[in-house]
Amino acid sequence: MMTPMRYVVLVLVIIISLHFILSFSHEEYGRATSLSHISEQLAGSKGHPPYQDGVPEDRYVPSTTPIQSRKANATFVFLARNGDLAGVVVSMKQHQPGPVEDRFNKEFQYPYVFLNEEPFSDEFKDRVQTLTDAKIEFGLIPKEHWLQPDWIDEERATTARKDMVEHNVIYGGYVPYRNMCRFNSGFFYKHPLLDKYRYYWRVEPDVTFFCDLHYDPLLLMQDQKKVYGFTVSLYEYPATIPTLWDATKEFINSNPGLVEPDNAMRFISDDGGETYNNCHFWSNFEIGDLDFWRGEAYSKFFDFLDEKGGFYYERWGDAPVHSIGVALFAKKEQIHFFNDIGYRHNPFQHCPQGELHKKGKCWCNPKENFDYEWYSCLKRYDALFT
Ligand SMILES: Nc1nc2c(ncn2[C@@H]2O[C@H](COP(=O)(O)OP(=O)(O)OP(=O)(O)O)[C@@H](O)[C@H]2O)c(=O)[nH]1
Ligand SMILES: *[C@@H]1O[C@H](CO)[C@@H](O)[C@H](O)[C@H]1NC(C)=O
Ligand SMILES: [Mg+2]
């Protein structure tokens, strides 16, 4: 039997050791294994991250074109399961008649494309259609775009998953999550329902949009020939991508002509391409150019990565794969930070600061802003333009 005193001492020892195990410095960001873990690390005494850094520059130059007269060749893209319905409604309700699109989508009615590897239920379709007057198309993902290809060595994949579970790698044991990452990396833009569009805005369940927009971000992409737009950037867990950078270097070496000379390599590498610094744009929010993904450079890059099998032998995410692709094959000016779009996907959010916050009538707390937290990569994006 343990005496109460011993019990207290034991608990204290456990708490103190946990504290040491969990605390890590800036250099050790790679040890994090899950987002909730990181968010715990960031949580200050008030239960939210200690957002302590200054107000970022307002670097967006608004388009002077009146928005009422024109519309981009674009759609919203929403990958979801039937079980995601509640979260889909939350994301769309703010997205559609809510603040984000008040300024333009009522008039322009950008359509939505919903994709799923299973047929959407009637309940799902009915409830989603109720939320908007815009056209919604529901698409089925072909099996060969979704399932683990049969040339993947299942034994090797199983071992890798077990290993990741043992090491507490987030989603490390899940095949469907890997299917999703591979689909988002290399197949969503090949879906026939997206053929007729050039630009897309990716939306996920349970995200929050905080501000009014006074221009059409899809038209901004089209008019300013942007390729990729983001709101949050951060580090990937190295445990999910041990050989992704080696594969990338191999690809670059055998296809030097595909790399854009005016690229954003400095966003993803601190040593001129020798190593990956793990920075990536957080792809649960994306506004992008589908033709860029469909183009020669990215297509070849994706096929090359797919052949390596890292989506299954490791757990390559669509965020690092997209980010590396964009950083290497687009001009750095074609990557756009949507500073004025207040956005949250748990556990992180971008909240516009200062004048932008006022202008957008944003309802996020400006102090809760990930931009210049130590785990954010935005400073590396800024450095591209200085
Ligand atoms: N159809 C379908 N969609 C999926 C599946 N898994 C994930 N998704 C969708 O893919 C997107 C990303 O999945 P999430 O589960 O949100 O993954 P995540 O953002 O990395 O993780 P969370 O932090 O849990 O949100 C969301 O739009 C999901 O609805 C799946 O098995 N089938
Ligand atoms: C929209 O973009 C797609 C893909 O680039 C293209 O095939 C289609 O013709 C475009 N439609 C219009 C109306 O420009
Ligand atoms: Mg998500």
pLDDT tens per residue, range 326-368: 999 999 999 999 999 999 999 999 999 999 999 998 999 999 9
Helix (H, G, I), strand (E, B) or coil at 191: coil
Residues with C-beta less than 6 Å from any ligand 2 atom: 73, 196-198, 291
Q: Report how far residue 104's alpha carbon sits from residue 96's, in angstroms, rounded to the nearest whole number.
A: 10
Residue 119's pLDDT band, with cuts at 50, 70 and 90, is very high
- The stretch 255-276 carries a mean pLDDT of 98
79 lines ligand 1 (CB under 6 A): yes
- Ligand 2: which residue has its CA nearest to atom 4? 198
Q: Report how far residue 170's alpha carbon sits from residue 240's, in angstroms, rounded to the nearest whole number.
A: 9
Helix, strand and coil in the chain, % to nearest 5: 45, 10, 40
- For the chain, the distance separating the N- and C-terminal CA atoms, rounded to the nearest angstrom, is 65
Residue 127 is predicted with a pLDDT of 96
pLDDT exceeds 80 at position 200: yes
| Interval between CA 295 and ligand 2 midpoint (Å) | 14
Of 73-82, 94-103, 118-127, 362-371, minimum mean pLDDT range: 94-103
- Ligand 2: which residue has its CA nearest to atom 8? 196
Residue 92's pLDDT band, with cuts at 50, 70 and 90, is confident
Which of 286, 307, 368, 373 is an active site residue? 286
Residue 282 contacts residue 318 (beta carbons within 8 Å): no
Residue 25 is predicted with a pLDDT of 36
Q: List, in sequence order, the alpha helices (H) in the chain.
A: 4-22, 35-42, 85-95, 99-102, 105-108, 122-130, 143-146, 154-166, 175-186, 217-223, 244-254, 265-268, 290-294, 296-308, 310-313, 318-329, 354-359, 378-383
pLDDT exceeds 70 at position 283: yes
Please confirm, yes or no, whether 286 is among the known catalytic residues.
yes
**Which residue did the predictor score with more confidence, 278 or 32?**
278
What is the pLDDT of the chain when averaged over all its residues?
85
Residue 29's pLDDT band, with cuts at 50, 70 and 90, is very low
Query: pTM, whole model, 2 decimals?
Result: 0.84
Residue 21's pLDDT band, with cuts at 50, 70 and 90, is very low
Residue 95 is predicted with a pLDDT of 64
Please choose, from the candidates 159, 64, 81, 76, the residue with its C-alpha nearest in 3D space to the C-alpha of residue 116.
81
| Interval between CA 98 and ligand 3 midpoint (Å) | 21
Q: Which domains does the chain have, with CATH numbers?
A: 69-383 (3.90.550.10)
Per-residue pLDDT of 288-304, as tens digits, reads: 999 999 999 999 999 99
Please choose, from the candidates 143, 149, 79, the residue with its C-alpha nearest in 3D space to the C-alpha of residue 303.
149
- Ligand 2: which residue has its CA nearest to atom 7? 196
Residue 22 is predicted with a pLDDT of 41
Between β-strands 199-203 and 74-79, what pairing exists: parallel, antiparallel or unpaired?
parallel
